[in-house]
Amino acid sequence: MTEETELVVIPEESAREVFVHTDTSKLQPYLDEIGAKVEKFSADVGTKAGRAEIKSFAYGLSRMKNSLEAIGKGIADEAKKLPKLIDANRKHARDTIQNWQDTVREPLTKWEEAEKKRTDAHEKAIAKIAGLDVTSDARTGVPYTSEELARSLEELSALEAEYPVEKREEFDDEYELVFTRTRATLEGAFAVQKANEERDAEIARLKKEADEQKAKQEAAEREREERERKEREEREAKEREAEAERKRLEDERAAAEQRAREAEARAENAEAALKEDPTGEAINEPDPDADAAFQDAIAGTPLTGVSDSAVIGAAHDQPDPIGGTNAPYGETRLNVVQGEKAIKGTPEFNAAYRRAVDALCAEFDFEGADFDADDIVSEIADGTFPHLKFVV
């Protein structure tokens, strides 16, 4: 190796200074020296000696590179150990001094912790009092009722008793402010809400009374309408009955008038007959057809247990009250002659009695009248028909 290719050596005492520096100013002179050798190097690659020289110079550069790398790495390894040593010493110094600091500050720390706990308690109490300064639901916005506001006032009074002036310490102003403000808010809201509720209750009461009064009036109206309906129906029914009675009386009057006309015609016929037969025998002779019909009507089924002497007949010896003549059957007598076995009240007797009454109805045209056979019997017994009587 010639002088031009000789290695550049960095003294060991200068190695740390070369590599542990803020810039490359300490390393650059060595690199410049190597660079100058590289620039001066020249060899003929066409000869064997030239090629051997190139190879040798390149090898020398490699050794220089590795030497510098080894020096730097050694310094770096030492430098890596240094932080751990430094950190250990730092920690030891820090812990030692911290222990001295804690020991010195311990009384103050305890005082500060107690003080924080004390002030936190006051601040928490003040926040709790301020939390009562609410008059409506935060979610719905619906105002609290007077009962809910009254409970908030009771809770506020309890907190005032829990935190009197002598316990408020340096927070007295804050307590006084929040107590005063919250009480004013709650009492104002309570007064307003109470008035609103009383007003609403009064409105509800009046509405209820009005509804009840309306219901009573409607019930009374329905009752009146029902009463009027019943009265109207009863009145209309009476009017219909009166109309029917009027019609019946008119029909009876018309029938009576008709019978009067017929009686008058019979009287006229009788008078004309008297003129033709002055003795009156033809008049007093009963009409055989009428008498036979009467006898058939009252005969009916023979009486069981009644003697053969039981006779039901008619007499013709009284003047007709309508015609004024001795008309046939002008007086009718019902003769029930009891035999030994004929007893009043028995079915046989009653049947014969009923047939006789039905015969009277048929004879005197009572069938169209508005009464039955029992009424006729009662009328005969009371003397309403003086030309009729029962003989038993």
pLDDT one-digit tens code per residue, 170-195: 999 999 999 999 999 999 999 999 99
Give CA–CA dist 326/318, Å, rounded: 6
Average pLDDT over all residues of the chain? 76
Domain ranges of the chain: 12-107, 286-391
Minimum mean pLDDT among 38-52, 152-166, 231-245, 271-285: which range? 271-285
pLDDT one-digit tens code per residue, 31-77: 888 888 888 888 889 999 989 999 998 998 888 888 888 888 888 88
The average pLDDT across 151-162 equals 92
Q: Which two tokens stand for residue 134?
A: 């609410």
Which pairs from 254-262 meet CB under 8 Å and 24+ separation?
Answer: 255/368, 259/322, 259/365, 260/322
Residues contacting residue 135 through CB under 8 Å, at least 6 positions apart: 143, 144, 149, 185, 186, 189, 193
pLDDT band, residue 161 (cuts 50/70/90)? very high
